[in-house]
Amino acid sequence: MTDHRLDRRDVLTDGGHDEGRNQNRETRNQQGVDDRSQLRRGQPQSGQPRRGQPRQGQSQGRQPQDGSAQQSTRRGTRGPQGPPSQQRGHPPNAGGGGDLLERLPLKAALVIGVAVFFVGIGLQVAVLGVELSLDEDGSASDLFDVLDDEGPHEQLSDWAGLYYNGHFAELETEQGGETESFDIYSEADSEEMELPSIAFRLPPIIVLIGGGYVLASRTQRRVGERPDPIVAGASIVVGYGLVAVLGIVLFSYSVTGAFGSEAQIAPAAGDAILLPGLIYPLLFGAIGGFLAGR
């Protein structure tokens, strides 16, 4: 009796093991079928990593530490972008003296400055013409004896001399080894002149303010970096000051005195360099630039 029960228990146990083995075999077979079907469709087998994914336990490489590194990776290896001026190929604006000279309208300042100087001489002569037209007793004609010179160079030099005097720059007369300086507007008696002496001081101021205004207005219409309008107006000194300094030689001429002795007349070098050469164009040219920039 006992032996039959043991045999039945062994049979049940062996049957249970056989059923478990059959189920495992069927599971493996089913899994193999699934793997083969996935291979036909191009999908990786179960347990295998997809293409482009690291295997389990494999290092995934160094990851970007922040958002800027990710943006750099997306854009390539260019790294951080520079300012717009550098992206377009323009040199960086260092704000130095060389960069300021590049932005200044030096060519225009030369042309306009030279033109303004000779326009000023013309305006000075126009004021002189008004003075002579108002003169009734001839005193002004004797004082401004500048219309009876023989040659054109002497005539122009006389007019230029009056224009230098309009800057408070004196003229020098050298005769017999002696040198004298004079400013005809300062030495003239107010009773001998119909116009106030200030009228003869205005032409340099008027033309320089106008020239600085025109020069600064031209630079403000330029595309790109522009200099300060005050600086642009003051740059008229390039042409105006050049003529004023060269005029020490250009407007020098000789006259023959009453006793046959020759006298050399020319603008005084120190006054010509300091006043019409530097101070007047820098000051009043800057005022013209200021007016243009308002």
Q: Tens of pLDDT along 186-205?
A: 877 666 788 888 999 999 99
Q: pLDDT band for 44, please (50, 70, 90 cuts).
A: low
Select the more confidently predicted residue: 139 or 194: 194
Please check whether residue 60 lies inside any domain of the structure: no
Q: Is the distance from CB of 203 to CB of 124 less than 8 angstroms? A: yes
Q: Which stretch of 77-91, 113-127, 221-235 has the lowest confidence by average pLDDT?
A: 77-91
Please check whether residue 254 lies inside any domain of the structure: yes
Please check whether residue 9 lies inside any domain of the structure: no
Please check whether residue 269 lies inside any domain of the structure: yes
Number of structural domains found in the chain: 1
Please check whether residue 214 lies inside any domain of the structure: yes
Side-chain-facing half-sphere of 131: CA atoms under 13 Å: 26
Q: What percent of the chain has pLDDT over 70?
A: 57
Give the integer Cα–Cα distance in Å for 111 and 122: 17
Please check whether residue 205 lies inside any domain of the structure: yes
Q: Return the sign of the alpha-carbon dihedral for residues 11, 17, 19, 25.
A: negative
Residue 280's domain comprises: 105-293
pTM tops 0.75: no
Q: Is the distance from CB of 67 to CB of 61 less than 8 angstroms? A: no
Give the integer Cα–Cα distance in Å for 159 and 236: 22
- pLDDT tens digits for range 49-98: 555 555 554 545 455 455 544 444 444 444 445 444 444 444 444 344 55
Phi, psi (5° rounding) for residue 108? -65, -35
Q: Is the distance from CB of 165 to CB of 266 less than 8 angstroms? A: no
Across the strands, what pairs with 266?
A: 172
Please check whether residue 236 lies inside any domain of the structure: yes
Please check whether residue 68 lies inside any domain of the structure: no
| Residue 95 CA from chain centroid, whole number | 9
